[in-house]
Amino acid sequence: MRKKGRVSAFALILILALICAILLITAAAVDNQRTYNREKAVTPTPSITPRTVRITEAPGQPTLSPTPRLLQVNSVGLEVKELQERLRELGYYSGDVDGQYGGGTRTAVQAFQSQHGLDADGIAGESTLNLLYSAGAQRFVATPTPSPTPETAAMLTSGSQGEQVKKLQQRLADLGFYTGKVDGDYGKGTRQAVTVFQSQHGLDADGIAGEKTLKLLYSDQAKKVVVTPTPEAIQVLSGNLPLLVNKEHPIDANFVPAGLVDMSKYCDSSLVKIKYQGTQGVREAVDALVEMLQAAKKDGVTNWQVSAAYRSVKDQQSIFDSNVKSYMNNNGLSKEKAVSATRKTVADPGTSEHHTGLAFDMTVPGTSAFLGTKQCTWLHAHCWDYGFVIRYQKDKEDITGFLAEAWHIRYVGKEHSKVMQERNLCLEEYLELAK
Ligand SMILES: [Zn+2]
């Protein structure tokens, strides 16, 4: 939003005072978010506020939600690294993935923006980042040099053949509209490509390459194809969706997941330490975990521990009850007050994801803080490739109802986790889209 015209100094001071008041109130509200359910029991207690590494916050800004994302020249850090990696993956960037937003990164961002019809300012703001990490992000296409209009071509249409059609197909292919053979036959594919070119250039989309179409096509005004992102990828997958367990969707008290294995016997202890003897997890998820940690080992990241996995509703109930009791006996609280105090740190029985046997709390043996470790960084970057998601993220606290937990991963299956990562969707959002 931009303010037009002049604002008197007095009004400006008033507005500033108002903004300060809002910031103070918001800061207080953020503190109150500590009243969210927190998993307790065997969950490690980080020494610092849990915050996932995928979040960007402008330095010095209060923790407001949603946090505006803006990366530009002189930005540094993990978010920049991720940006560079993504740009590299798509072919826009060939420099070092060093987390430093320099001239090369800016040029790559500009190229991405201009290819996607965005303002090519070289600043990775919210719309650029959203598109970049979405399924709609296209690979880099080198700008084709404009070629002169072939003199003899006046009109090409279905059934046309020869050199002029070949040139037409080649030009359409260079711009990304045509993916068929450059064979000089004006068939269905060529007509379709011409139609899409026309509609994206404000021409009559009749599929006939007439004078106007050809002139524009061979000029430097010809733009590359724009592929519109569609939510279809999610709909295709809606047959076998991940299980949702949260406050609104508690699990049945008698639910026991199928295929539980004893992780302390099942897993190679040199790969991962299981903190508590007899900890169980669903076999498919444990297999995925092992596969993931083997990959981590190849990357030189070892020394992993699982502090929690499957927990029955009964177990959760007794943890909950003993907390309530302790508040009543030791702090002299009424039952009602003891329950609400307990809810600040212990999930209501039935609402913990650990009931599914598909969630694991990942830690480093001997340390209480997971955030900031190299294991944490690796996990947040790669777990998606093995079917896991970082279930409770900072920017999704309002939706999940849980404070961010850097250590808690949830197995959903590769086909889902990859889409969730690409589109930055938490499970609630993902399932909403898949409906
Ligand atoms: Zn957990």
Q: Is residue 8 part of a domain?
A: no
Q: Is residue 255 part of a domain?
A: yes
Q: Is residue 20 part of a domain?
A: no
CA of 199 to the centre of ligand 1 (A): 50
CA of 39 to the centre of ligand 1 (A): 6
Tell whether the torsion through CA atoms of 278, 279, 280 and 284 is positive or negative: negative
CA of 243 to the centre of ligand 1 (A): 16
Average pLDDT over the chain, rounded to whole?
81
CA of 417 to the centre of ligand 1 (A): 17
User: Among 27-31, 222-226, 410-414, 419-423, which is the least confidently predicted range?
Assistant: 27-31
Asked whether residue 411 falls in the same domain as residue 269, the answer is: yes
The residue count of the chain comes to 435
CA of 81 to the centre of ligand 1 (A): 27
CA of 400 to the centre of ligand 1 (A): 13
What confidence score (pLDDT) does residue 383 get?
Answer: 98
Q: For the range 427-432, what are the long-range contacts, defined as Cβ-Cβ under 8 Å and sequence gap of 24 or more?
A: 427/242, 427/244, 427/389, 427/391, 427/400, 428/244, 428/246, 428/396, 428/399, 428/400, 429/396, 429/399, 430/234, 430/242, 431/241, 431/242, 431/244
**Ion ligand 1 nearby residues (CB, 5 A):** 39, 361, 408
Asked whether residue 107 falls in the same domain as residue 252, the answer is: no
Dump pLDDT digits (tens) for 333-373.
999 999 998 887 788 999 999 999 999 999 999 988 899 99
Query: At which of 124, 147, 182 does a domain end?
Result: 124
What's the CATH number where 82 sits?
1.10.101.10
CA of 388 to the centre of ligand 1 (A): 13
What confidence score (pLDDT) does residue 177 get?
Answer: 87
Dump pLDDT digits (tens) for 178-191.
888 999 999 888 98
Dump pLDDT digits (tens) for 117-137.
888 899 998 888 888 888 888
CA of 334 to the centre of ligand 1 (A): 29
Residue 284 · residue 259 · CB < 8 Å:
yes
Q: Is residue 386 part of a domain?
A: yes
What is the 3 state secondary structure string of the chain? CCCCCCCCHHHHHHHHHHHHHHHHHHHHHHHHHHHCECCCCCCCCCCCCCCCCCCCCCCCCCCCCCCCCCECCCCECHHHHHHHHHHHHCCCCCCCCCCECCHHHHHHHHHHHHHCCCCCCCCECHHHHHHHCCCCCCCCCCCCCCCCCCCCCCCECCCCECHHHHHHHHHHHHCCCCCCCCCCECCHHHHHHHHHHHHHCCCCCCCCECHHHHHHHCCCCCCCCCCCCCCHHHHHCCCCCCCCCCCCCCCCCCCCCCCEEEHHHHCCCCCEEECCCCCEEEHHHHHHHHHHHHHHHHCCCCCEEEEECCCCHHHHHHHHHHHHHHHHHHHCCCHHHHHHHHHCCCCCCCCCHHHHCCEEEEECCCCCCCCCCHHHHHHHHHHHHHCEEEEECHHHHHHHCECCEEEEEEECCHHHHHHHHHCCCCHHHHHHHHC
* Nearest one of 242, 332, 319 to 38, comparing CA atoms: 319
Mean pLDDT, range 400-426, rounded to an integer:
92
Q: Is residue 344 part of a domain?
A: no
Mean pLDDT, range 222-247, rounded to an integer:
67
pLDDT band per the 50, 70, 90 thresholds, residue 13: low
What confidence score (pLDDT) does residue 17 get?
Answer: 53
What confidence score (pLDDT) does residue 143 get?
Answer: 62
Asked if the model's pLDDT at residue 160 lies above 70, the reply is yes
- Domain extent for 91: 78-124
Dump pLDDT digits (tens) for 261-292.
999 999 999 999 999 999 999 999 999 999 99
Higher per-residue confidence, 217 vs 226? 217
76: which strand partners?
100
Question: What are the phi and psi torsion angles at 412 (to 5°)?
Answer: -125, -10
What confidence score (pLDDT) does residue 345 get?
Answer: 74
CA of 360 to the centre of ligand 1 (A): 6
What confidence score (pLDDT) does residue 230 get?
Answer: 42
Q: Is residue 393 part of a domain?
A: yes
Burial letters for 252-277: b for 16+ Cβ neighbours within 10 Å, e otherwise? eeeeebeebbebbebbeeeebbbbee
Dump pLDDT digits (tens) for 34-74.
334 344 333 443 333 333 333 333 333 333 334 457 899 88
Strand-by-strand arrangement of the 304-308 sheet: 272-274, 304-308, 359-363, 405-411, 388-392
Residue 100 · residue 106 · CB < 8 Å:
no
pLDDT band per the 50, 70, 90 thresholds, residue 11: low
What's the CATH number where 262 sits?
3.30.1380.10
Total domains in the chain come to 2
Token reading at 402 = 């849980």
Q: Is residue 244 part of a domain?
A: yes
Asked if the model's pLDDT at residue 331 lies above 80, the reply is yes
Asked whether residue 250 falls in the same domain as residue 108, the answer is: no
What confidence score (pLDDT) does residue 147 get?
Answer: 54
Asked whether residue 407 falls in the same domain as residue 271, the answer is: yes
CA of 38 to the centre of ligand 1 (A): 9
Dump pLDDT digits (tens) for 393-404.
999 999 998 888
pLDDT band per the 50, 70, 90 thresholds, residue 300: very high
Q: Is residue 324 part of a domain?
A: no
